[in-house]
Amino acid sequence: MDLSVLFMASPWISADLAPTAGQQLWIMDIYGFMMAGLLMTMGTVGDRIGRRKLLLIGAVAFGTASTLAAFASSAEMLIAARALLGLGGATLAPSTLSLIRGMFDDENQRRTAVGIWTGAFTGGIAIGPIIGGLLLEHFHWGSVFLINVPVMILLLIAAPLTIREARDPNPGRFDLLGAALSLAAILPVIYGIKKMAENGTDPTSVAAIVVGVVFAALFLVRQRTAASPMIDVHLFASPSFSGSIIANAIVVFATAGMGLLSATFMQTVLGFAPFAAALWMLPTVAGSFLGVAVASLLARTVRPALLVSIGLLVAAGGFAAVSLVTPDSPVGLLIAAYSTLTLGVGMTATMVTSLVLTTAPPEKAGAASALAETSSEFGGALGIATLGTLAGTLYRGTMTADPVPGAEEAGAAAADTIGAAVATAKALPSEVADRLLHQAFDAYTNGFSVAAIVGATVLALAAIGAGLTLRNVTAQQISKAEE
């Protein structure tokens, strides 16, 4: 939920802290970047010190960082607080799934538990904007962070009473060099892709990606030669494991990026107040949980390749429908399209998460869970950065190419973000404000539609890839692996 709760708050943060377009995207995605870079490290830490202990440490860190973010007084301060939240989240995320992996020995119970976990994960992404909208209707935007604090307090009280400790009995030495290399590999690549989407191909973005790729190669070499590697790279020789990891990353890539754009579209272009927008988003949550239920029901008899591919194609169809939305479209069209998207996401996420877990030995559950979470967070952060930057670049291009007469001085701020355009228009004469908003809404819709088409294309290609990589895996093999 913390990944998406800011979707509704984004226009309000823009008006209050006045971040640049680049800073606004960093506010949204630095959280996912930090998590993606640290999840594998924290997964192996949990295998060594105890997964419940790491869960409790993460609760303290996450609650503290949430408080700092809630009272941020500048864009830079909020970015720093979100980075600390990513650090705290990286300790929480791998602990949850790995603990569930060890709680259930029965294959059917484990599949059900993983389905519930998946529903919580994907449902959290979907429900974030709803909770955010409800809070923004009555409180300052910092409230979207403060809601984390009582949840973390409850976790600190309940976890010692309800969860037994679990760890790897023979963890070996902690691979500090491998941990550093994993972070050095992920962050430059994401930064380079982000800059490339924002400014086009330039030496800086290319150099960043090259640096990341070099460190990724060094990380793989280290994992092959280390006495106690962070991950078993031989797992990736399994088509089911590799295909599931990639499919998981891609589906979260598309949905997280579109979630930010959809929430902003509803509040700015369609003009809904936060709480009204939140109520309209409720069907999207139902779509997510329906997808989880459908996948859990069919997983025992339908081949994973077919089930995952269908889920990805359903989500792609939802994206294609989103691209048809215009400023004059009824809100129901956007909600129906986005609910179709979340239905496909729920189907896909349930199956691929189960596949990732069942291919790893129980004693490496923390590391395998971290890989699943890493693919999710990496995909989510990359989706926000890439699709958000793409839409923002198209928006700024349109706004700067043809300034509105009478709004030249305000045009620079209005051209930065759609939230800034709405805030700026309030200080202009009504006729000029109307022209500015009309241009801004058309520009944002154009970027929104192009991002949706890109998302649909990526998911359709992923459906083909999943069908190929998982074609030899049967439902019976999954059950046997879970045993």
Kindly state the helix (H) or strand (E) to which residue 403 belongs, with its residue range.
Answer: none
Q: Would you say residue 270 lies in a domain? A: yes
- Give the per-residue pLDDT at 482: 47
Q: In the chain, how many H helices and how many E strands?
A: 19, 0
| pLDDT tens readout for residues 282-324 | 787 788 788 888 887 887 788 878 888 999 999 999 999 999 9
As given in the structure block, the two tokens for residue 34 are 């930090």
Buried-exposed string 374-388: b where 16+ CB fall within 10 A, e elsewhere? bbbbbbbbbbbbbbb
Hey, how many other C-beta atoms are within 10 angstroms of the C-beta on 364? 21
Residue 225 and residue 241 in one domain: no
Average pLDDT score over residue span 404-421: 67
As given in the structure block, the two tokens for residue 139 are 């409180």
Name the residue type at position 448.
F
Q: Which of 121, 381, 122, 361 is nearest to 241 (CA)?
A: 361
Contact 249, 36 (CB under 8 A): no
- Domain of residue 223, residue span: 180-229
Residue 390 and residue 461 in one domain: yes
Residues near 397 by Cβ (< 8 Å), separated by ≥ 6?
none
Name the residue type at position 44.
T
Q: Would you say residue 65 lies in a domain? A: yes
Q: Would you say residue 113 lies in a domain? A: yes
Contact 288, 227 (CB under 8 A): no
Round to whole Å and give the CA distance between 393 and 401: 12
Residue 154 has pLDDT above 90, yes or no: yes
Query: How far, in whole angstroms, is CA 20 from its chain's centroid?
Result: 22
Model pTM score? 0.71
- Residue 47's SS3 state is helix
User: Between 176-199 and 203-225, two packed helices, what is the crossing angle to 10 degrees?
Assistant: 160
Least trusted range by pLDDT, from 10-14, 59-63, 304-308 = 10-14
Residue 379 and residue 319 in one domain: yes
Residue 252 and residue 361 in one domain: yes
Name the residue type at position 408.
E
Instruction: Please name the residue that has the structure tokens 């830079």.
Output: 76
Round to whole Å and give the CA distance between 427 and 245: 49
Residue 396 and residue 267 in one domain: yes
Residue 441 and residue 336 in one domain: yes
- Give the per-residue pLDDT at 361: 58
| pLDDT tens readout for residues 78-89 | 999 998 998 888
Least trusted range by pLDDT, from 250-254, 306-310, 379-383 = 379-383
As given in the structure block, the two tokens for residue 240 are 């089911």
Average pLDDT score over residue span 37-61: 83
Residues near 116 by Cβ (< 8 Å), separated by ≥ 6?
292
Name the residue type at position 271.
G
Residue 204 and residue 259 in one domain: no
Residue 280 and residue 335 in one domain: yes
Residue 474 has pLDDT above 70, yes or no: no
- Give the per-residue pLDDT at 481: 46
Q: Would you say residue 278 lies in a domain? A: yes
Q: Would you say residue 357 lies in a domain? A: yes
Q: Would you say residue 456 lies in a domain? A: yes
Residue 237 and residue 221 in one domain: no
Long-range contacts of 448-451 (CB under 8 A, 24+ apart): 448/261, 448/262, 448/265, 448/269, 448/322, 448/325, 448/391, 449/322, 449/323, 449/324, 449/325, 450/323, 450/390, 450/391, 450/394, 451/257, 451/258, 451/261, 451/387, 451/388, 451/390, 451/391
Residue 155 and residue 194 in one domain: no
How much of the chain exceeds pLDDT 70, in percent? 85
Q: Would you say residue 172 lies in a domain? A: no
- 3-state SS of 207-221? HHHHHHHHHHHHHHH
More confident residue, 331 or 100: 331
Residue 325 has pLDDT above 80, yes or no: yes
Residue 473 and residue 368 in one domain: yes
Contact 298, 350 (CB under 8 A): no
Residues near 65 by Cβ (< 8 Å), separated by ≥ 6?
81, 84, 85, 87, 88
Structurally, the chain folds into a number of domains equal to 2
Query: Pick from 229, 245, 261: which residue ends a domain?
Result: 229
Contact 183, 219 (CB under 8 A): no
Question: Tell me, what CATH number does 337's domain have?
Answer: 1.20.1250.20
Q: Would you say residue 174 lies in a domain? A: no
Round to whole Å and give the CA distance between 454 and 81: 31
Contact 318, 468 (CB under 8 A): no
Average pLDDT score over residue span 447-471: 88
- Give the per-residue pLDDT at 215: 93
Residue 212 and residue 315 in one domain: no
- Give the per-residue pLDDT at 68: 93
